[in-house]
Amino acid sequence: DAKTTQPPSMDCAEGRAANLPCNHSTISGNEYVYWYRQIHSQGPQYIIHGLKNNETNEMASLIITEDRKSSTLILPHATLRDTAVYYCIVRVAYGGSQGNLIFGKGTKLSVKP
Amino acid sequence: ETGVTQTPRHLVMGMTNKKSLKCEQHLGHNAMYWYKQSAKKPLELMFVYNFKEQTENNSVPSRFSPECPNSSHLFLHLHTLQPEDSALYLCASSGEVEETQYFGPGTRLLVL
């Protein structure tokens, strides 16, 4: 089972920031927070990941709370092409079944004009 | 993105057919994966290969037979499938098994 909790759906206005929350209250010290998204019927796309510190790349920012029990993915200027299901996943960064990606149901983000 | 490619993109097969799905990665990765995504269900890991060796089989029925001839290619051989096997089959790769996985576009399979 997925070790994260996400809202099933969210709406965002085009051009505004989309803030997608994720709860992972049982996260272990050696587990990373990963975000992927899946546009309808396509393969999941890697977005970003982090351990403790906030991270930013060309796609998004990841804000992890100090106690690491929750995080927020921020898309700074959402476009219609950002409409997708967003998955928050926690995993250890080493091999074996504990390092597997366990996908939950994610958050369906709808960006509206 | 063309780092991980999958062919065919769509496949329709009868229950008595034999077909194969192909995945190729152009990222120099050492680990490759097969996932299944059925309608309305989360992605499920099927197989993991690391340096061409199968390291994980997630209780997948024997009618699905994976093959990894080298670190760049991964196949999924299909034989006597059932209609409930209709799904999106996704391939992924990573540098090492602990690193970030990158997915292909998937093969949409319909079993009649």
Query: Over the stretch B98-110, which tens digit does the pLDDT of each residue have?
Result: 889 999 999 999 9
Does pLDDT of B3 surpass 90? Answer: yes
Mean pLDDT, chain B, rounded, equals: 94
Let me know: does A104 contact A23? Beta carbons within 8 Å.
Answer: no
In which band, very low, low, confident or very high, does the pLDDT at A1 lie, cut at 50, 70 and 90?
low
Distance from CA of A63 to the nearest CA of B (A): 19
Mean pLDDT, chain A, rounded, equals: 93
Phi, psi of B100 (to 5 degrees): -65, 135
Percent of chain A, pLDDT > 90? 82
Distance CA A5, CA A90 (A): 11
| Residues in chain B within 8 Å Cβ distance of A105 | 42
Which tokens is A108 given? Answer: 């369906």
Let me know: does B107 contact B89? Beta carbons within 8 Å.
Answer: yes
| Chain A CB within 8 Å of residue B45 CB | yes
Q: How far is CA A111 from the centre of its chain?
A: 16
Question: The tokens 């799905």 sit on which residue?
Answer: B21
pLDDT of residue B107: 98
Q: What is the pLDDT of residues B42-95, one digit of tens each?
A: 999 999 999 989 988 889 999 999 999 999 999 999 999 999 999 999 999 999
DSSP 3-state of B84: helix
Using only C-alpha atoms, chain B has a radius of gyration, in whole angstroms, of 13
Does pLDDT of B1 surpass 60? Answer: no
pLDDT of residue A100: 85
Task: Give me the residues paired with residue A75 across strands.
Answer: A18
B61: preceding bond cis by omega (within 30 degrees): no
| Chain B CB within 8 Å of residue A44 CB | yes
Q: Do B48 and A44 touch (CB under 8 A)?
A: no
Percent of chain A, pLDDT > 70? 96
Q: What is the pLDDT of residues A42-62, one digit of tens each?
A: 999 999 999 999 999 999 999
Q: How far is CA A79 from the centre of its chain?
A: 17
Contacts across the A-B interface (CB distance below 8 Å) = 52
Pairing of strands B18-25, B64-70: unpaired
